[in-house]
Chains A and B, each alone.
Chain A
Amino acid sequence: MKRNWTKPIAVLFVLAAMLPFAACKKKPPTTTESARSASESPTSPGETRVSPPSNRTPQDVASDALPGSVEEMNRRGYLQDAFFDYNQADLRDDARTALAANATWLKGHATTQFLIEGHCDSRGTTEYNLALGDRRANAAREYLTSLGIDGSRIRTVSYGKERPFCNAESEECWQQNRRAHFLFTAK
């Protein structure tokens, strides 16, 4: 991270808020003998997450009206989730509407990077749902890129049915769990 001591105190404050993320810049190793040292673990939707590396500069931050932290951005929910039918990864009309609104927002905040999580309801097997969640997350990504969003800003992860938003066995709850969920990873 470049340092610019000439900026106003407000920027220093922002920098201070970012320090915890700078500490996490080191990429996790691709080969690890033991997982004990790993500090990151998937968190539930809406919980705070550790930020991956970014190439932000203080200037970017200063020119941005967004809140100081990625966590706060995720709390505020700038991006809408896209919901799916049972055992489907095709985008419904309401999902396209939500993703189009996301695309508009993302074009206005072109430095943001984000993760799309694919989620499934509790029916069906764990293994199949991991693959289905992958298709859902990628369906959302493809639509966003077709609307002009740079694919390099997007990563996807499938949680299958492992991270449900609610736990009742009802259609209302199942619908809540069949979604592509957005999380910012960088401003």
Chain B
Amino acid sequence: MRRPVPPRWWAAALLLAGLAAAAAAQTPPPGPAAPRPEGGVIVITGPSGRKMSMAVPPLLAPGVAALQSRVSEPFTATLRSDLEYSNAFVVTDARTEPSGSRDVAGSEAAGRWLSTGAEVLVDTRGDVAGDRVSVEARVWDLKSRKLIFGRRYSGGATYVERIAHTLANDLIKEFTGQAGTFLSTILFVSDRDGNRTKEIYAMDFDGRNPRRLTNHHSLVLNPDARAGKVVFTSYVHRFPQIWTMSADGSGQRELSTGLELNASPALSPDGSLIAFSGSAKGNPDIYVMNAAGGGLRRLTSTRALEASPDWSPTGRQILYTSDQTGTPQIWVMDAEGAGSRRMTFAGNWNDEAAWSPKGDKIAFACRNEGDFNICVMDFATGNTVQLTSDGANGHPAWSPDGTKIVFQARRGGSTQVYTMDAADGKNKRQLTNGGGSNMQPVWLP
């Protein structure tokens, strides 16, 4: 630092020092409530709202060049990427960042950052001791020059990106009140192992670190996850059966039903029940059984085809697909199978419904003519928006915070996993590429 540290900076440093004693990289303890700027920061998210403009300059690290590439660059890239991806903020262009001091408690420095259009500065400073990295993060409201947020993180030097994800989660929580999803996991099905097999894989929310969870050398399909459990269909014993396992792939167990078809399993929110598409004599209906096996009950009793159930967040209702009117459409019934009613009326094929975490929306694969797209319907009003228009899309699932939809799409040769903003379909990102086709994603809560 080229000039004397202003008094406010010392105050912040003391706060950080107090936090540092107990801080850990993966689960920083909640610190004392960070002071809010006077007048509050306006945070409006959504397609019509104004988003807060946030400057996220590079992590300052001591002058060893090696630290730049090992620590500073991956940290900053991850943090910026997460905050941009969240769509809760506008992250200002790195090329507009002013040089000079970041000690924005002083009006001169704050003015320089304000002139770039930023309202908030995320100032991060790192240090490395042995194989440990520590990062101090301070978030300043530039107009009032007050500290909004201060926290210290530390962890193994190989977990720089994880520290960045943790900070991004904390910032999302701080500014939106929602839990961030930057340390979350997405499950999907991939045929990358060849031999006409499909297996369940897990990956980080951004597509990194794919790892295989099943090894059935067979057809493994349609994972669903709730309450630390995963259910799926496997053909490993020739006939499609429902299996259960933990979210890390351990404890795999087959659940016997006595039915010929056992497909599309969906866990109830508390993980105690499984709804699925079952069939005894060529009449696929929605069934429910205990997640531990047993307790089989049939919920629908039409002569038509029923498939693809999904539970409401309350566990009181079930969405499903039925072709009882001649085309596959989304229906809803209560969890005991009564009170069924049709939800979709537009288009000749609506399928694979997924209830949003708040229960106010449903996402589904929709088709009128041509390829399938992803549609989102407001559950109360029936108002529907189509979020895709390119390629063949399907199998939508919600992020735990409800801001994103993960789905599969074929744009060209193979099917891959994408995410987009649930509100308007913007911010599309492809999470998988290569490695054959990747499909049927579901976001772990």
Q: Give the interface of A toward B (CB within 8 A).
A: 28-36, 38, 40-42, 44, 87, 89, 124-128, 130-132, 134-135, 137-139, 141-142, 155-160, 162-163
User: How many A-B contacts if CB must be within 8 Å?
Assistant: 136
**B264–A130 touching, CB < 8 Å:** yes
In the complex, are the beta carbons of B254 and A32 less than 8 A apart? yes
- The chain B residue with its CB closest to the CB of A160 is B263
Task: Please report B residues at the A interface, Cβ cutoff 8 Å.
Answer: 196-198, 214-219, 221-222, 233-240, 251-254, 256, 260-261, 263-264, 277, 279, 281-284, 305-308, 321, 323, 328, 349, 351-352, 365, 372, 394-395, 439-440
CB atoms of A127 and B222 under 8 A apart: yes
Contacts of A162 in B (CB 8 A): 198, 219, 221
Q: Given that A130-B263, A131-B263 are contacting pairs, would A35 and B236 also be in contact in the complex, using a CB cutoff of 8 Å?
A: yes
Q: Which residues of B contact A42 (CB under 8 A)?
A: 218-219, 235, 238
Nearest 8 pairs between A and B by C-beta?
Answer: A138-B282, A131-B284, A41-B218, A35-B216, A131-B307, A130-B263, A127-B264, A134-B261
Chain B residue at minimal CB-CB distance from A129: B307
CB <8 Å contact, B236 and A41: yes
**Do A134 and B279 touch (CB < 8 A)?**
yes
Minimum Cβ distance to chain A for residue B263 (Å): 4
* B438 → chain A closest CB, angstroms: 13
Bound-state CA distance A87–B304 (Å) is 12
Q: How far is the CA of A2 from the CA of B260 in the complex (A)?
A: 32
Name 7 A/B residue pairs within 8 A (Cβ), A-sorted.
Answer: A30-B256, A35-B216, A131-B277, A134-B260, A158-B260, A158-B279, A162-B221
Instruction: Say whether A127 contacts B284, CB under 8 Å.
Output: no
B305–A128 touching, CB < 8 Å: yes
Q: A127-B264, A157-B240, A158-B240 are in contact. Are A135 and B256 (CB under 8 A)?
A: no
> In the bound complex, do residue A131 and residue B351 qualify as a contact, i.e. CB atoms below 8 Å apart?
no
Besides A31-B254, A135-B283, A157-B238, 17 more A-B contacts (Cβ < 8 Å) are A32-B252, A35-B215, A35-B217, A41-B238, A128-B305, A128-B307, A130-B261, A130-B307, A131-B279, A131-B284, A135-B305, A138-B279, A138-B281, A138-B283, A158-B261, A158-B263, A163-B196
From B196, B305, B352, give the contact of A131 (CB < 8 A): B305
